[in-house]
Amino acid sequence: MGKNVIYYFLLFAFALGGWLLKSYVFPTIKSIGQLDPDTLDGLAKWALKLCRAAKNMVDTLTTAADRRQWVMDQLEALSQKAGLNLTEEQKRALLEAAYDEMNATDATDQAAAVITHTARLTGGLEVQTDIEIEDEPEPEKEEAPVD
């Protein structure tokens, strides 16, 4: 009976070891090098915030290269904190996407500010939305005489 107990104990230990490897080790190995979409989305939001901060740091960051390097250094620190190892190309892509989004958002905000400022200067604009627009009738075409 003593040999059977040892045999079943070893069988249980191997089964438990296999389950632990399958559940914890292999998924960890598989996920190494892959970026979690939530983490990447969070980094993209931080990149946008960093771009806006660098844009406003005119006193300390005088050139565009200085601002770019500052944002890249901050992205490196954030990615290390999140446990990610981003390449320079990935950080550059995040930076460029954030810069483009910042410029698009700023242009939209500027247009809205101009409209609001104009409305304040004119005492407010009232927009009438129940106007019916009638199409102009097309001029009648003269038919060419048939020979």
Task: Residue 67: give the domain boundaries.
Answer: 35-120
Tell me, what's the pLDDT at 85?
A: 79
Is the residue at 133 inside a domain? no
Tell me, what's the pLDDT at 91?
A: 85
Closest C-alpha among 38, 98, 46 to residue 76 = 46
25 and 46 inside one domain: no
21 and 45 inside one domain: no
Is the residue at 70 inside a domain? yes
12 and 81 inside one domain: no
14 and 54 inside one domain: no
Tell me, what's the pLDDT at 15?
A: 92
111 and 42 inside one domain: yes
pLDDT in tens, 17-45: 888 888 877 766 655 555 555 667 777 88
Length in residues, the chain: 147
Tell me, what's the pLDDT at 135?
A: 61
Tell me, what's the pLDDT at 67?
A: 86
17 and 88 inside one domain: no
60 and 100 inside one domain: yes
Tell me, what's the pLDDT at 12?
A: 92
5 and 20 inside one domain: yes
Amino acid letter at 34? Q
Q: How far apart are CA 120 and CA 112, in angstroms?
A: 12
74 and 20 inside one domain: no
Q: How far apart are CA 34 and CA 31, in angstroms?
A: 5
- pTM for the full model? 0.48
Is the residue at 125 inside a domain? no
4 and 55 inside one domain: no
Number of domains in the chain: 2
**Mean pLDDT of successive 10-residue stretches along the chain, which has 147 residues:** 83 90 72 57 82 80 84 85 80 86 76 64 54 62 64
Closest C-alpha among 98, 14, 18 to residue 53 = 98
Q: How far apart are CA 78 and CA 53, in angstroms?
A: 15
Q: How far apart are CA 128 and CA 37, in angstroms?
A: 45
Tell me, what's the pLDDT at 98?
A: 86
